[in-house]
Amino acid sequence: MKNCLFVLCDGMGDRPIFELGNKTPLQFAKTPNMDKLSQWGEDGLMDTIAPGIRPGSDTSHLALFGYDPHEYYTGRGWFEAAGVGVQLQPGDVAFRGNWATLDNGNIVDRRAGRITEKDGTADLAKALNGMKLESVDGVEVIVQPSTEHRLVVVFRGESLSDDVEGTDPKVTGRPAQKARPRIEDEPSRRTAAALNEFTEKALGILSTHPVNANRDLPANYVITRGAGSVREIPSFEEKYGFRGAIVAKEGMIVGIGRVLGMDIIVPEGATANVHTDLVSMAHAALDALKKYDYVFVHIKATDILSHDGDYVGKARFLEKIDKDFLGTVLEKVDLHETLVVLTADHSTPCELMEHSGDPVPLVVTGAGVRLDDVRHFDEISAMKGYLFRIKGSDLMPIILNYINKAEKYGA
Amino acid sequence: MKNCLFVLCDGMGDRPIFELGNKTPLQFAKTPNMDKLSQWGEDGLMDTIAPGIRPGSDTSHLALFGYDPHEYYTGRGWFEAAGVGVQLQPGDVAFRGNWATLDNGNIVDRRAGRITEKDGTADLAKALNGMKLESVDGVEVIVQPSTEHRLVVVFRGESLSDDVEGTDPKVTGRPAQKARPRIEDEPSRRTAAALNEFTEKALGILSTHPVNANRDLPANYVITRGAGSVREIPSFEEKYGFRGAIVAKEGMIVGIGRVLGMDIIVPEGATANVHTDLVSMAHAALDALKKYDYVFVHIKATDILSHDGDYVGKARFLEKIDKDFLGTVLEKVDLHETLVVLTADHSTPCELMEHSGDPVPLVVTGAGVRLDDVRHFDEISAMKGYLFRIKGSDLMPIILNYINKAEKYGA
């Protein structure tokens, strides 16, 4: 085989759900194309970081791209900023943020009524971008909207630090947190002070902003988290000797791709939610395989439905991925040329509505792969497959081996 | 789930025994409650340190509590001393010891006829405690009895070292060893000299001690091993953010618990041998689950019977654990709230009468755990389970994941 199509369904892994007859959504859903991949391929379980560790999407993607997150991960802000086109410089500190609603001193909605781009988030960001801060000297403020209710806040200047706890209280009904340094040094104190002044001034500016004039849940507050600074990281091409492409819309995944110097493909109709056009994404992936040796497709909505605890919706969306995306792919793809990988970055059990440390199912399909007896792609069947239970860091070497691009270790 | 009951049967793992129809004691024993745990849970094999490594109970317990023994382990003396209530200070060196019988210059019994507390070991310790040494200046000698034939010897003073080989010959029919430095430096030489003088003087004092007046195998000698000094170690609560309790009687396990700042519960009737009241231990564990998020129960006698090579006794005692301990627990425990873990710290094959590096069986049971096909809890069946073959260091993250106390790594 000569190239790889890597299909990642965010948060796809789950636990048995009583209401689904003690099946996981993946077991419950009718997914004949996923099952074909299992029948034609080798299956297994994967701990994207290590057994029991609850991964974020950022650390797990780094591991799946073959980058040790313990070496490279500084916080999600870096990738989120790259995702919206802010090229960070060494010394910058970036935060992920949400447009949120503050009422009577409490955060009443962490997503400002799920505000989106079409409601005018670009205008809100513009109103905050370039803000002058008085508590700290010479700090430039960069604010960019991201997908839906998300934004990116970057501080650029001397003596800043990413050892800062942001202002996101994570729950509603409580006051936003004050930003605070995680360690007691001057750069961390300086950065926390800058973030607190920014947050206070933003409230004043947003409260009277025309975008909020008729909103029940105005986007009058910015909550921040995931401080990240820039680290030296080899590009995907430097590391592997060939170019990789990412088919995705989700800001953070696009950001990781940009940081690794991969090409980003956003197909017509692709979104980071359930409304994404999966047929269009499939065609974009098939096209990309003509030019790239590694094409990574990120499908976000499985994770969103899991965070909402919507196990029926998750099962139905898995069926949609199966039919629209995989159906289109399998009609066209040549499994003698292309290795197809299907897996998740982590489990998000609907019962927990949060990422968990349970392993995810994995299938690797293509000509020459050693076949096992697994006939159905799900978290339980996968345990009997040829790949056993591997770590996320094992997957890229396995892919390189099958697509004949692995360096020999030794002579 | 919100808390964890961890049941550890010391040295439970074994090898096939010809006389048991080539079954291990665990395969041979009738253990319906253990089998229920397997049927309701996910099974696997565990190398508490790493494949093939023969663990001590101390290093394996550290690993199972989530502490890397390569980072923290200095020798068993530290934990044994903590277990009998000696709070070590930085610079102290502690040895584990046995009361032994010397006859004609040879060690003829390493346990002085299995002397116990009721035979007066406290009086023997008192006679040695505070001994003045002449070969080394300013070294304070602390001697405390431990369970049964065991004791603790601590040297406190300047320039001591734990790089010292103790005096335990490990076998009978040979002279006791002279203590000797493991490396050639002054502190190690000083400590070896102190231990040799202590041992010589102890022989004089013990030989004429009234406790030994009528013993066939007098406790007239002290053999020592496992020199350990103190290291900085974070408490269990500092590490995980919640308190843990240990239900145990065995001195070294209690010692590890004390060193980690865990609460120690010694139920009425609990002992570190086959006479322990397993029903009482079960009730104590169930009570503790009302107050603690992590309750660790240590059952010692499986290891004792293995060291004696008594495979029938081991199988019978496993049946007793199954009925008295697990039967009581499973009647009361709510598996929607409590994760139950059953495993061993290492294998002690009856054929070897010593710890081995064979992996141990492991089962993790509770609501939401992904089910596998394993129907019987033993070393052979466990290999077909969902957990595959993990390391001891993986288990604490897996537990934290299931009881919803795992930190997310990334965002």
- The string of DSSP letters for A309-325 reads T-HHHHHHHHHHIIIII
- pLDDT over 90 (residue A76): no
- pLDDT over 90 (residue A147): no
Asked whether the beta carbons of residue B370 and residue A379 sit closer than 8 angstroms, the reply is yes
**pLDDT at position A75:** 85
**pLDDT at position A112:** 97
Closest-CA distance, B403 to chain A, in angstroms, reads 11
**pLDDT at position A87:** 85
Task: For residue range B297-327, list pLDDT tens digits in order.
Answer: 999 999 999 999 999 999 999 999 999 999 9
Closest chain A residue to the Cα of B384, Cα to Cα = A384
**pLDDT at position B368:** 85
**pLDDT at position B80:** 87
- pLDDT over 90 (residue B75): no
Closest chain A residue to the Cα of B367, Cα to Cα = A16
The span from the CA of B116 to the CA of A130, in Å, is 78
Q: Closest partner residue to B409 among A55, A225, A380, by Cβ? A: A55
- pLDDT over 90 (residue A397): yes
H or E segment and range at residue B9: strand B3-9
Task: For residue range B328-360, list pLDDT tens digits in order.
Answer: 999 999 999 999 999 999 999 999 999 999 999
Task: For residue range B200-220, list pLDDT tens digits in order.
Answer: 999 999 999 999 999 999 999
| Contact call for residues A270 and A277 (beta carbons, < 8 A) | yes
Token pair 């590694």: residue:
A294
The span from the CA of B152 to the CA of A42, in Å, is 55
The span from the CA of A170 to the CA of A148, in Å, is 18
Where residue B389 falls among pLDDT bands split at 50, 70, 90?
A: very high
Task: For residue range B23-47, list pLDDT tens digits in order.
Answer: 999 999 999 999 999 999 999 999 9
* Burial label, A135 (beta-carbon count in 10 A; 0-12, 13-18, 19+): middle
| Contact call for residues A59 and A254 (beta carbons, < 8 A) | no
**pLDDT at position B46:** 98
Amino acid residing at B296 = F
Token pair 């989106």: residue:
A116
- Contacts of residue A50 in chain B, CB cutoff 8 Å? 394, 397
- The residues, ordered by sequence, that sit 6+ positions from B184 with a Cβ below 8 Å of its Cβ are none
- The string of DSSP letters for A115-173 reads --GGGTHHHHHHHHTT---SSSTT-EEEEEE-STTEEEEEEESSS--S-EE-S--SSSS
- The residues, ordered by sequence, that sit 6+ positions from B63 with a Cβ below 8 Å of its Cβ are B48, B49, B55, B69, B391, B392, B393
Report ipTM for this prediction.
0.85
Task: For residue range A237-259, list pLDDT tens digits in order.
Answer: 999 999 999 999 998 899 999 99
Dihedral over Cα of B383, B386, B391, B396: its sign? negative
Across residues B77-98, what is the average pLDDT? 90
Distance in angstroms between the alpha carbons of the first and the last residue of chain B? 23
Give the mutation candidate from B370, B390, B394, B400 for the A interface (greatest A CB count, under 10 A).
Answer: B370
Where residue B296 falls among pLDDT bands split at 50, 70, 90?
A: very high
Token pair 């340190």: residue:
B49
- Half-sphere exposure in the Cβ direction for B289 (13 Å, CA): 23
Across residues A96-101, what is the average pLDDT? 96
- pLDDT over 90 (residue B160): yes
**Which of B373, B370, B379, B358 is CA-nearest to residue B398?**
B370
- pLDDT over 90 (residue B381): yes
Using a CB–CB cutoff of 8 Å, tell me whether B382 touches chain A.
Answer: no
**pLDDT at position A150:** 93
Task: For residue range A169-180, list pLDDT tens digits in order.
Answer: 989 998 889 999
